Amino acid sequence: MVFRCALLTNGRGGGPASGMSQSREKILVAMSGGVDSSVAALVLKQQGFDITGAYMKNWINEDNIVGNCPWMQDIEDARAVAEKIGIEFRVVNLMTEYRERVVAYLLDGYRRGITPNPDVMCNREIKFGVFLQWAREHGYDAVATGHYARRVENTGADGGPDGTFSLIEGADKNKDQSYFLAMLNQEQLRAARFPIGHLPKPELRRLAMEAGLATATKKDSQGICFIGEVKMQDFLRQYVPDEPGPIVRAGDGRVLGRHRGLHYYTIGQRKGIGIPSNTDFQKYVVVGKRAEDRALLVAFDGPDAPGLFTSELRVHSLSWTGAPVAEPRLIEGRVRYRDPRVHLKFVPDAGGGREGGSATIRFREPQRALASGQVLALYDGERLLGGGVYA
């Protein structure tokens, strides 16, 4: 298992803040060396914005973790694209901040037996956190990325723009990345630009080919956010010591074997548990972790597996792209990336679902394998409302 560290126009299409012309707005484009961010820069350049490309140097694999960490090649690819479209290119070193805000969060979560989401945290803390701060300190008005998402300006009672923005799913539903932006706030969204959110992926590739970009046929990255194609287990093995414990069958308490450490497993995992299944039709699945004796809880996969399906749970660390959901309300949620939106009832705690607060979630249909530490993205149709972390 490996993890990965809109059309921009004036006014309502998600471009410059109201009243700011394209010629005045300076945008720093986060160029990862992939085709998506390359075309993001291309689109903005064609639309006449004053843009600069920048590679965020977050990780260089100095600890020699097994896996492909092609940061030098990514820099060269991003630089080649910048030269091709005729924009300035810079490398911004954020390695210290990345270790403090993403890697430390990731490792702490796995040490505590939960399953963190480094991609969501990277967007909140790095791309639209310290990178955005760096951009503002150097005279830029906004930061653009290659996310498949759309930003639109909201309208007030008079029908005109009210200065706030909504985040909408990407037009290409197979590539939509709004889930990874679920923990952004309104201030971050106001300074964000998503130039490719209106494009289907095949069209994006075609634009890159027509422009002769070096990344036009480059394979999409599948690794941890800005680390590279490194298997999570290899990454964890480098930093989190093994703490073996029993593999216990939920229900009858039978000990089936031993595991190397709870941090290597997540709820819903079926492969690589280390114990044989009875038959091809009865596969063991991870259903829980017990901290007191470091037990990994498993059961036969199916609708009756204890702890595998959830109808109600708690979320904390709520974050909103706009106004909080202050009262109990029927909305939708995406329980993990690429899953479809599902119906749920959001019931905020006292305080009205405030930023950083908690809530109870009641799903219309039970949801499978929800792991503590992961993110629930909240929606009103295609509009992203915000998100929270599974308790």
Residue 314's DSSP bridge partners are 360
pTM: 0.89
Q: Is the pLDDT of residue 62 over 50?
A: yes
**Rounded to an integer, what distance in angstroms lies between the CA atom of residue 310 and that of residue 282?**
21
Residues 187, 260, single domain; the answer is no
Report which listed range, 10-14, 217-221, 249-253, is most confident.
Answer: 249-253
Tell me which of 233, 258, 273 is where a domain ends.
233
Query: Residue 2: helix, strand or coil by DSSP?
Result: strand
Number of domains into which the chain is organized: 3
Give domain status of residue 5, yes or no.
no
Which CATH number does the domain housing residue 275 bear? Answer: 2.30.30.280
Give domain status of residue 324, yes or no.
yes
Confidence of residue 2 (pLDDT cuts 50, 70, 90): very low
Q: Once rounded to an integer, what is the mean pLDDT over residues 234-242? A: 88
Please name the residue that has the structure tokens 């809880």.
297
**Rounded to an integer, what distance in angstroms lies between the CA atom of residue 2 and that of residue 231?**
5
Query: Catalytic: which of 42, 85, 106, 122?
Result: 122
Closest CA to 273 of 281, 282, 264: 264
Q: Once rounded to an integer, what is the mean pLDDT over residues 45-69? A: 78
What is the residue type of 248?
V
Which CATH number does the domain housing residue 380 bear? Answer: 2.40.30.10
What is the residue type of 282?
Q
Residues 218, 344, single domain; the answer is no
Query: Residue 359: helix, strand or coil by DSSP?
Result: strand
Residues 71, 165, single domain; the answer is yes
Q: Is the pLDDT of residue 106 over 60?
A: yes
Residues 60, 32, single domain; the answer is yes
Residues 170, 270, single domain; the answer is no
Give domain status of residue 78, yes or no.
yes
Give domain status of residue 321, yes or no.
yes
* DSSP, res 178: G
Q: Once rounded to an integer, what is the mean pLDDT over residues 182-197? A: 98
**Rounded to an integer, what distance in angstroms lies between the CA atom of residue 353 and that of residue 372?**
19
* Sheet containing strand 295-300, strands side by side: 255-259, 245-249, 295-300, 284-290
When mean pLDDT is compared across 57-71, 264-278, 311-325, the lowest value belongs to: 57-71
**Rounded to an integer, what distance in angstroms lies between the CA atom of residue 312 and that of residue 310?**
6
**Active-site annotation holds for 69:** no
Give domain status of residue 142, yes or no.
yes
Residues 198, 226, single domain; the answer is yes
Summarised one tens digit per residue, pLDDT across range 208-234 is 999 999 999 999 876 555 555 677 888
**Active-site annotation holds for 5:** no
Residues 129, 190, single domain; the answer is yes
Inter-residue contact 57 to 93 (CB < 8 Å): yes
Residues 17, 81, single domain; the answer is yes
Tell me which of 233, 255, 279 is where a domain ends.
233
The residue segments making up the domain with residue 21 are 11-233
pLDDT of residue 350: 87
DSSP 68-95: B--HHHHHHHHHHHHHHHT-EEEEEE-H
Residues 336, 263, single domain; the answer is no
Summarised one tens digit per residue, pLDDT across range 344-387 is 999 999 877 889 999 999 999 999 999 999 999 999 999 999 99
Q: Is the pLDDT of residue 270 over 50?
A: yes
Give domain status of residue 4, yes or no.
no
Summarised one tens digit per residue, pLDDT across range 287-305 is 999 989 999 999 999 999 9
Cα end-to-end span (Å), the chain: 23
The number of helices, as runs of H, and strands, as runs of E, in the chain is 9, 17
**Rounded to an integer, what distance in angstroms lies between the CA atom of residue 243 and that of residue 262?**
7
Query: Catalytic: which of 69, 225, 296, 377?
Result: 225
Which CATH number does the domain housing residue 125 bear? Answer: 3.40.50.620
Inter-residue contact 388 to 359 (CB < 8 Å): yes
**Rounded to an integer, what distance in angstroms lies between the CA atom of residue 273 and that of residue 264?**
9
Confidence of residue 282 (pLDDT cuts 50, 70, 90): confident
pLDDT of residue 15: 41
**Rounded to an integer, what distance in angstroms lies between the CA atom of residue 90 and that of residue 80?**
12
DSSP 138-170: TT-SEEE---SEEEEEEE-TTSSEEEEEEEEE-
pLDDT of residue 63: 54
Give domain status of residue 382, yes or no.
yes
Give domain status of residue 3, yes or no.
no
Which residues 6+ apart lie within 8 Å of 187 measured at CB?
Answer: none
pLDDT of residue 8: 38
Summarised one tens digit per residue, pLDDT across range 114-163 is 999 999 999 999 999 999 999 999 999 999 999 999 999 999 888 888 99
pLDDT of residue 334: 98
pLDDT of residue 247: 97
Inter-residue contact 258 to 246 (CB < 8 Å): yes
Residues 197, 261, single domain; the answer is no
Residues 216, 271, single domain; the answer is no
Residues 198, 320, single domain; the answer is no
